[in-house]
Amino acid sequence: MNAGRMLVVSGPSGSGKSTICKRLLQDPRVVFSVSATTRKPRPGEVDGRDYYFLSVEDFRQKIAEGAFLEHAEVFGNLYGTLRAPLAEAKARGHIYLLEIDVQGANQLRALGEEGVYIFITPPDFEELKRRLAGRGTESPEVLQRRLHKAEDEMRERHRYDHIVINDDLDRAVAEVRQHVGLDTASTEVR
């Protein structure tokens, strides 16, 4: 089998999905979908690697050009998946990893985009609260917004092909790898 595959990973902030995605990306067969966003870069983030950081005008221009497969507003900023790199990654037989929110995943499903859709959850909501608060980087107001969004997202989890509980990082990564076919001998994605 040589066709690439799309892997969509969603989950509330604090679920540990970014850490899981970083681990998945250690496999050379997995390629990260670099989204465009109007959010300002955080310290350490690199344009073109973590995101394409665009102005609102440039982002809107790209919407008008039809450059996005999906786009959504999250926490007051715009985020979007670019169309072109997905097609290229698929043609190359890669597993193309999209770390996007539930609105984006819903749009892709509505478009009939085939792929493996995975939702990452923390073991329970109390743990999620602890993880979000523990970051210590957010104001109480932002924290509250993230918690509300997390609750909204959790309600959507049953729409995904698989729900992976992130109570143990190694196990959660292994589970995702299995769901996307990275650990079965018969799966050749290159």
Q: Is 99 in the site for ligand 5GP (CB under 6 A)?
A: yes
Q: What does the block give as tokens for 147? A: 């918690």
Q: What does the block give as tokens for 113? A: 């985009």
Output the CA–CA distances (angstroms, integers) from residue 172 to 8, 19, 28, 50, 167, in the order listed: 15, 10, 19, 22, 7
Contact between residue 119 and residue 160 where contact means Cβ atoms under 8 Å apart: yes
Of the candidate residues 14, 16, 104, 115, the single one contacting ligand 5GP (CB under 6 A): 104
Q: Is 100 in the site for ligand 5GP (CB under 6 A)?
A: yes
Number of residues interacting with ligand 5GP: please give it, by CB under 6 A. 13
Contact between residue 189 and residue 5 where contact means Cβ atoms under 8 Å apart: yes
* Nearest-approach distance from CB 90 to ligand 5GP, in angstroms: 17
Q: Which is nearer to ligand 5GP, 2 or 158 (CB)?
A: 158
* Ramachandran assignment for 110, one of left (phi > 0), alpha (psi -120 to 50 degrees), beta (any other): alpha
End-to-end distance of the chain based on CA atoms, in angstroms?
Answer: 8
In total, the chain counts a number of residues equal to: 190
* Residue 157 DSSP label: G
Residues of span 23-82 touching ligand 5GP by CB under 6 A = 35, 39, 70, 72, 74, 79-81
Of the candidate residues 14, 16, 54, 101, the single one contacting ligand 5GP (CB under 6 A): 101
Q: What does the block give as tokens for 74? A: 């999250």
Q: Is 109 in the site for ligand 5GP (CB under 6 A)?
A: no
Residues of span 134-153 touching ligand 5GP by CB under 6 A = none
Q: Is 164 in the site for ligand 5GP (CB under 6 A)?
A: no
Q: Which is nearer to ligand 5GP, 35 or 166 (CB)?
A: 35
Q: Which residues would be at the binding site for ligand 5GP (CB under 6 A)?
A: 35, 39, 70, 72, 74, 79-81, 99-101, 103-104
